[in-house]
Chains A and B, each alone.
Chain A
Amino acid sequence: MKNIHVSTVLNGDETEFVCAPEETLLDALRGRLGMTGAKEGCGTGDCGACTVEMDGRLVCSCLVLGAEAEGAEIKTVEGMAVGEGLHPLQQAFIDHAALQCGICTPGILVAAKTLLERNPDPTDTEVRYWLAGNLCRCTGYDKIIKAVQIAAADMRGA
């Protein structure tokens, strides 16, 4: 088993890491690069806790090999805030209590950000379908949907 050298762009920064061929992108992000925002929930692509953006599309990083990140552009929750300034979605989640235990939150934030970039004014139904692959066992989803809508309105006004 030979380790693989991978060059990628992570949250806008050129990044290199070495990983085993069977290692997932999730494990590489967490274990090799110290990016522990993405979480492992199910490990089978059902829960969305490991959601990151890869070349503009949402993916479950538990179902991507680290080696596949070669030449790709990866965005994680760590790239959302600018310095000390939180992204409007992050601020809305805090202000409106859209999280409890927080395990699902990084994945939901990344997924919601991609949604609002594509559709700045989604309906509640569109938000719910878009986030259907992000499971939350605490909130009952209602506050999540509300926080996304509040952030969307905030971003449209900005």
Chain B
Amino acid sequence: MQYMKPQTAAEVSDILARSEGAARILGGGTDLLVQMRSGMIEPETIVDIKHLDGIRDITSEDGGLRIGAAVSGQRLGEHEGAKALWPGVVEACELIGSTQIQGRCTMVGNLCNGGPAADSVPAMIAAAAVVRIEGPDGPRDCPAEDFVTGPGKTVLGKGEFVSSVFLPARPKAASDAYLRFIPRTEMDIAVASAGVNIELADDGTIKSARVAIGAVGPRVILVPDAADAIIGSKLEDPAIAALVRACEAASSPIDDKRGTAEFRTTVVGVLAKRAARIAMTRAGENQ
């Protein structure tokens, strides 16, 4: 095995393209090292991307924030600007693993794993985050909801990798929230999860919304019907009931040891309802 630490995105692309799939990106390493040590993968080359310019930075851009691919969960959680602008994304990212894992894990790694239960992904999708992909033909952008195509599968092509995620600007009277269900109080994988992003109109009704649900299908999904259910409302009971129904209808979970399909379907609706209420309260406080 080879360990490489390229200094530019072009070098990374070049190494990836030449290695014919035998190279793996090392960011925080909290999944890569586990996979290597368990014998799941035996990469010929490890490409440590932490030496690229800006890859460990959180930078302001067009009123939003660009989160570098090597920004750890803990670092994101310490960033006052990120917490103020996208509290749901930050709280989702902070749920990944223990303090030790938080010191290394990244939102981009969480996304690139392509897991349907990845905590930061519903929040990113609800936030309309945009994924910056670097490759042999230069950079391109991809909406977060289109990035994962199936369990463990992404849109990344030959020689491509993710260098950052962009969290867009938002009006003042807006906020977001993320909730997951786990059978313990800490350090577990979501059995069901929901991210909700809400923007309020001047009269306090919901002007626009995005709802994404996780662990209830082969990938995290955006549920436009759930957003439509609450747009124009103040989350009165009928709107909430329609939101819950839309989330349940969009779910296609599996039965496994962590939860039955029936349980997951019920819980995801409850989580979406509660996350919507939290996002609504936060948005109201910002108004």
Contact with B along A125-154 (1 / 0, CB 8 A): 000011111100000000000000000000
Establish whether residues B37 and A21, one from each chain, have CB atoms under 8 Å apart when the complex forms. Answer: no
Task: Give the CA-CA distance A43 to B30 in the complex, in Å.
Answer: 11
Establish whether residues A45 and B36, one from each chain, have CB atoms under 8 Å apart when the complex forms. Answer: no
Min CB gap A63→B, angstroms: 4
Interface centre among A21, A51, A59, A64 (most CB of B within 10 A): A59
Establish whether residues A45 and B186, one from each chain, have CB atoms under 8 Å apart when the complex forms. Answer: no
B residues contacting the other copy or chain, number (CB 8 A): 28
Establish whether residues B26 and A59, one from each chain, have CB atoms under 8 Å apart when the complex forms. Answer: no
Task: Give the CA-CA distance A22 to B38 in the complex, in Å.
Answer: 13
Find chain A residues with CB under 8 A from B103 CB: 54, 57-59
* In the complex, chain B residues 36-82 whose Cβ is within 8 Å of any chain A Cβ: 36-38, 46, 48, 50, 72, 74-75
Find chain A residues with CB under 8 A from B30 CB: 45, 60, 63
Task: Give the CA-CA distance A48 to B187 in the complex, in Å.
Answer: 13
- Asked if B3 CB lies within 8 Å of chain A CBs, one says yes
- Asked if A1 CB lies within 8 Å of chain B CBs, one says yes
Partner of B1, one of A22, A63, A134: A22
- Asked if B286 CB lies within 8 Å of chain A CBs, one says no
Establish whether residues B46 and A65, one from each chain, have CB atoms under 8 Å apart when the complex forms. Answer: yes
Establish whether residues B100 and A133, one from each chain, have CB atoms under 8 Å apart when the complex forms. Answer: yes
Establish whether residues A132 and B46, one from each chain, have CB atoms under 8 Å apart when the complex forms. Answer: no
**A24 with B33, Cβ < 8 A, contacts A1-B1, A67-B3 known:** yes
- Asked if B104 CB lies within 8 Å of chain A CBs, one says yes
Establish whether residues A132 and B99, one from each chain, have CB atoms under 8 Å apart when the complex forms. Answer: yes
Contact with B along A67-83 (1 / 0, CB 8 A): 11000000000000000
Establish whether residues A130 and B99, one from each chain, have CB atoms under 8 Å apart when the complex forms. Answer: yes
Find chain B residues with CB under 8 A from A132 CB: 98-99, 186-187
Establish whether residues B186 and A129, one from each chain, have CB atoms under 8 Å apart when the complex forms. Answer: yes
Number of A-B residue pairs at CB separation under 8 A: 87
**A22 with B36, Cβ < 8 A, contacts A4-B3, A68-B48, A132-B187 known:** yes
- Asked if B84 CB lies within 8 Å of chain A CBs, one says no
Task: Give the CA-CA distance A129 to B206 in the complex, in Å.
Answer: 35
| Nearest-CB residue, chain B, relative to A19 | B3
Chain B contact residues: helix, strand, loop or mixed? mixed
Min CB gap B199→A, angstroms: 32
Establish whether residues B3 and A45, one from each chain, have CB atoms under 8 Å apart when the complex forms. Answer: no
Find chain B residues with CB under 8 A from A67 CB: 3, 5, 48
Partner of A65, one of B33, B38, B74, B187: B33
- Asked if A100 CB lies within 8 Å of chain B CBs, one says no
Find chain B residues with CB under 8 A from A62 CB: 33, 37
Find chain B residues with CB under 8 A from A44 CB: 34, 37-38
* In the complex, chain A residues 24-44 whose Cβ is within 8 Å of any chain B Cβ: 24, 43-44
Interface centre among B48, B98, B186 (most CB of A within 10 A): B98
**A63 with B29, Cβ < 8 A, contacts A1-B1, A44-B38 known:** yes
Task: Give the CA-CA distance A131 to B75 in the complex, in Å.
Answer: 18
Establish whether residues B1 and A45, one from each chain, have CB atoms under 8 Å apart when the complex forms. Answer: no
Min CB gap B1→A, angstroms: 5
**A133 with B99, Cβ < 8 A, contacts A1-B1, A57-B72, A67-B3 known:** yes
Find chain B residues with CB under 8 A from A43 CB: 37
Establish whether residues B1 and A21, one from each chain, have CB atoms under 8 Å apart when the complex forms. Answer: yes
| Nearest-CB residue, chain B, relative to A132 | B186
Give the 5 A-B CB pairs with smallest separation, nearest first: A133-B98, A57-B103, A21-B3, A63-B33, A132-B186
